[in-house]
Structure 1
Amino acid sequence: MSGGRTVIARVETWAGVDTDWVRRPDDPARTRRVDTWVALAFLVAGSLGVELLRSIDALGPFQDSWVWPHVAVLAGTLPLVWRRRWPLAVAAGLSLHFFVVGLTMPGVVASVPMQVVYFVAIFTGVAWARDRRLMIGVVVAIVLLMFGWLTWQFAVGSGIEEALSHDGRLPERQGLFSPASAYVTYSLLINVFYFGGAIALGQAAWRAALQRDRLAEQARTIDAQATSLQRQAVVEERLRIARELHDVVAHHVSVIGIQAAAARRVLRRDADAAETALRSVETSSREAVTQMRELLGTLRSGEDERPDGTRSPEPRLADVPALVEEVSTAGMRVDCRLVEDSPGAVVAVPDPVGLSLYRTVQEALSNIRRHSTASAATVFVRVDRRPEPGFAHGYAEVEVLDDGRPRSGTSGTGLGLLGVRERLAAHGGVSEIGPRVTGGYRVRVRMPLPEEAS
């Protein structure tokens, strides 16, 4: 029983019973027109074949009948018009036609055009059947009907004697087989190749159509994914520009505020010092406006270029000391310390990682100036190429420490820290952000380095 179930399961798998895909014509109207012309061509060929057989006295009892052989051809070719609309019904109907007409007018069904018609009907039934399980049943019924008819002819009828007799005498044995056994074997082999070929080619056509449909579906899926990725890339680029804009504006505005406060304090005491402070405010303002124009130009054109056409260089990790020097004032002293495992390691950090770490330091220092009472801060920049758990090719890290407490009434929007976390997610880094046990606040961000180019 287990072996029988295995054979049935294999047959069902081969026939495509386990798939929900249904083969349908891409253009039903065009398919109907093509099938109509095919049926008409076979009708003409079949009628011509009947007349040729009549001309050589090969129609048997219907030799003198002009109507019924042509009616039989019409009944055998007309269903081809609907062969792809109702494939199994046409295949079963024409197989029954073959059986009935074969008993009454064997010369008609033996003609080449009608043999091709029956082959096409079985082929189409297998290739276009929508219910694959029903297709197996119909094919099995057709094969049993045909070979049952052959067996009956061989066992009961006089088909062998009529086929082999010459002037009423049976031929003598001349080859390896007797005439009767050779005729039976030859007839069986012809029918095996005939029906087996129609079924195998029909299934191959169905499989090919299934594969084409799946490839087309994959192509549509790939196109949809590509469109989605393009949209996602646009969104990510806008988020990147939004983070850059936030960090630039926050940094320069906080610097301008500190410089303006310093200018106000010295305005009455020292005019030269006040003028120097106001010039610093003017310089910071111009720099802020310039960078914002560059970012807005990027939003419009997608190119990070200056008005003169040259590309604006983005800050790198090696620019952190200059940033620290810029923001260090009499009101808050900021120190910067570089820790490298080898000379030039900070400069060699890839630009995307370096920019993210630079912006992290920029945001952290802006938050200290706006939201903290700190009078001093320290920025550490560390680069280490030695592998560690989670950092197979080393890491680049920035750490910002201050000694202050939160200033009341200065809560922010949280966009700065959100930008830091988005950069971390983009590079697969880790962070430690929050108050220190010994006092003050810590912002520590570590990002993995890629493998060095050989």
Structure 2
Amino acid sequence: MWARQKRLSDLFDAEDAWTRPLPENYLRADAILALAMFACSALGLEILRSMGVLGGESAPLWAQYTAMASAAALLALRRRLPLLTGLGATAHLLIIGSVMPLVMGQVSQQVLYFIAVYSAVAWARDRRALVGVAVAIAAALVVWMTWYLALGSGMQQILDSLDDADRLSGLVPPVPAYLVYTALINIVYFGGAAALGIASWRGARRRHALADQAETIEEQAEALRDRAVVEERLRIARELHDVIAHHVAAIGVQAGAARRVMGHDPDAAAGALRTVEESSRSAVGEMRALLGALRSADRTTAAARPPGGSGAAFPDDPSASPDHSRSAGHGIADLGRLAASHDSADFTTSVSVVTGTGHPVEEVPPVVGLSLYRTAQEALANVRRHSTADRASMVLRTGEGPGGNPYAEVEILDAGRPRAGTSGSGLGLLGMRERVRSHGGECEIGPRVTGGYRVRVRLPYHPDVEGDRT
């Protein structure tokens, strides 16, 4: 019993809570269909009457047309009230089949019943109620066929056929053959209507699911585009912080040195002022490149928006090209100049390079080189601002990690103590760690056991892949 109910429930998708949406102007379309089917039924009725087929029909003409009109009227509600349409068509078949069997049996009238049963299955919004309606329709048809054959004119037609010896040439006796034939016609006819209705509902369900998936994919793609823009802006914000922190620190150091030696060593003061000039120009150039990158990101976002969306468009700027904004003209080759820019009368920076076998410095991709440069830039600026050290060492290393992947590493060491009253915001160190995380690398940032401070950042890379990304 339970297994049968489960099969019926699965057949009609009774446990699916989805409701098939009604199309636009469906009521008008169904009303037009009802009028068209009534016209076809009326035409078919008159043709049959002209052929003499309806000569044995005793019902008056107005009753015949009323029967056809009432059946066609059900189709006007086939999608608005699908279950009621199916039950109404079944009741109409039973009543008209009992009082006007010749009218009920015409082809156009049978098509009306077919469409009504199909619509009940295809458009039912309550799938659990549909199971009950389907069982009720099937039971009503079985009862009606039994009554028609046992007590109506159906059995009389079978008995009349026994008087004709020419009809007794088949393998099966006429009574069972007639019963099986009638049952098969009804099963195929109404079963086919139900099967088409199930196929139509499931097809609409699949299309709805595909539309939802397409919408979800589009939303995810838009979210990924927005996320990419946000990440690029955060990267540029870190770049801007590093640029300003480095150059302002260098300008402050050199300006202070120039002030101290201006009275007794004009040449040294002039050299310090030249360094201030170079640092300021470099800062302006780098910030211009970063602002160009922001404009490039805005153009990309505006291009990704649908027509009519808001967003500012910027004129083409060579400095805003992806390659330029991503590298900003700095990399591993600039580490020597970076160290020299911090040198002064009371501070020196040494630079050394240790390359692993088969991994020259030249193979380090620009993206990794830029991140190492920014790390060294921030670390040296922190030494000058927050440490009493009078010297720092920078070591650049390349090599091969445990997994066989090459890496590039920069390490900045100093032996000073923290300078009082110079605590920073911590954004520089946070930017370092975010860079390392974006490359899947590792870092060690903190005080040394022997005194001083250590910043070591190791970034793995693949020369071909990272090079393509730049």
Q: Normalization by structure 2: what TM-score?
A: 0.88
Aligned mates of 2:333, 2:178 — CA distance in 1: 94
Structure 2 match to 1:374: 389
- Judge conservation of contact 1:387–1:394 (CA < 8 Å) in 2: no
Aligned mates of 2:234, 2:62 — CA distance in 1: 82
Mean alpha-carbon deviation: is it higher for 337-346 or for 239-248? 337-346
Structure 1 match to 2:240: 245
- The alpha-carbon deviation at position 222 of structure 1 amounts to 1.8
Q: Which AA in structure 2 matches 1:34?
A: A
Aligned mates of 1:394, 1:10 — CA distance in 2: 61
- Judge conservation of contact 1:164–1:170 (CA < 8 Å) in 2: no
Structure 1 match to 2:225: 230
Which of 264, 267, 273 pairs up with 1:269? 264
Structure 1 residues 382, 8: closer, same or farther in 2, change over 3 A? Answer: farther
- Judge conservation of contact 2:291–2:320 (CA < 8 Å) in 1: no
**1:132-180 C-alpha deviation (Å, 9 max, x unpaired):** 1111111111112112222333344441441573596465421222222
Mean alpha-carbon deviation: is it higher for 278-287 or for 58-67? 58-67
Q: Which AA in structure 2 matches 1:305?
A: P
Please show how residues 118-137 of structure 1 align to structure 2 within 5 Å. Answer: 118-137=113-132
Q: Which AA in structure 2 matches 1:214?
A: A
Structure 1 residues 331, 267: closer, same or farther in 2, change over 3 A? Answer: same
- Judge conservation of contact 1:399–1:445 (CA < 8 Å) in 2: yes
Structure 1 residues 319, 160: closer, same or farther in 2, change over 3 A? Answer: farther
Q: Which AA in structure 1 matches 2:214?
A: A
Q: Which AA in structure 1 matches 2:5?
A: I
- The alpha-carbon deviation at position 105 of structure 1 amounts to 0.8
Q: Secondary structure at the match of 2:122?
A: helix
Aligned mates of 1:417, 1:196 — CA distance in 2: 73
Aligned mates of 2:83, 2:463 — CA distance in 1: 62
Q: Which AA in structure 2 matches 1:288?
A: A
Aligned mates of 1:208, 1:451 — CA distance in 2: 50
Q: Which AA in structure 1 matches 2:459?
A: M
Q: Secondary structure at the match of 1:347?
A: helix
Aligned mates of 1:60, 1:451 — CA distance in 2: 94
Which of 440, 449, 457 pairs up with 1:428? 440
**1:103-154 C-alpha deviation (Å, 9 max, x unpaired):** 1111112111111111111111111101111111111111121122223333
Aligned mates of 1:146, 1:419 — CA distance in 2: 78
Structure 2 match to 1:448: 460
Q: Establish whether residue 19 from structure 1 lines up as the match of residue 32 from structure 2.
A: no
Structure 1 residues 12, 379: closer, same or farther in 2, change over 3 A? Answer: farther
Please show how residues 346-357 of structure 1 align to structure 2 within 5 Å. Answer: 346-357=361-372
- The alpha-carbon deviation at position 350 of structure 1 amounts to 2.5
Aligned mates of 1:189, 1:309 — CA distance in 2: 73
Aligned mates of 1:163, 1:44 — CA distance in 2: 34
Mean alpha-carbon deviation: is it higher for 62-71 or for 116-125? 62-71
Which of 54, 61, 65 pairs up with 2:60? 65
Aligned mates of 1:82, 1:279 — CA distance in 2: 89
Structure 2 match to 1:96: 91
- Judge conservation of contact 1:338–1:382 (CA < 8 Å) in 2: yes
Which of 399, 402, 405 pairs up with 2:417? 405
Structure 1 match to 2:319: 306
- The alpha-carbon deviation at position 409 of structure 1 amounts to 0.9
**1:217-267 C-alpha deviation (Å, 9 max, x unpaired):** 112212222222222222222111111111111111111112112212221
Mean alpha-carbon deviation: is it higher for 120-129 or for 300-309? 300-309
Cα RMSD, aligned residues only: 2.6
Q: Establish whether residue 416 from structure 1 lines up as the match of residue 431 from structure 2.
A: no
- The alpha-carbon deviation at position 432 of structure 1 amounts to 1.9
Q: Which AA in structure 2 matches 1:411?
A: S
Q: Which AA in structure 2 matches 1:190?
A: I
Mean alpha-carbon deviation: is it higher for 375-384 or for 301-310? 301-310
Structure 1 residues 346, 451: closer, same or farther in 2, change over 3 A? Answer: closer
Q: Establish whether residue 361 from structure 1 lines up as the match of residue 376 from structure 2.
A: yes
Q: Establish whether residue 330 from structure 1 lines up as the match of residue 345 from structure 2.
A: yes
**1:76-106 C-alpha deviation (Å, 9 max, x unpaired):** 1101111101101101111111111111111
Aligned mates of 1:417, 1:83 — CA distance in 2: 69
Aligned mates of 2:48, 2:112 — CA distance in 1: 17
Q: Establish whether residue 115 from structure 1 lines up as the match of residue 115 from structure 2.
A: no
Structure 2 match to 1:159: 154
Structure 1 residues 307, 143: closer, same or farther in 2, change over 3 A? Answer: closer
**1:21-56 C-alpha deviation (Å, 9 max, x unpaired):** 1012131xx111100000000111112222223233
Q: Which AA in structure 1 matches 2:237?
A: A
Aligned mates of 2:410, 2:293 — CA distance in 1: 27
Which of 381, 385, 397 pairs up with 2:400? 385
How many residues are paired up?
Answer: 446
**1:250-301 C-alpha deviation (Å, 9 max, x unpaired):** 1111111121122122212222222222112111111111211222232234
Q: Normalization by structure 1: what TM-score?
A: 0.91
- Judge conservation of contact 1:379–1:401 (CA < 8 Å) in 2: yes
In the alignment, structure 1 segments of 5+ residues that lack a partner are none
In the alignment, structure 2 segments of 5+ residues that lack a partner are 298-315
Structure 1 residues 149, 61: closer, same or farther in 2, change over 3 A? Answer: same
- The alpha-carbon deviation at position 415 of structure 1 amounts to 1.7
Q: Percent identity?
A: 48
Which of 39, 64, 72 pairs up with 1:44? 39
Structure 2 match to 1:260: 255
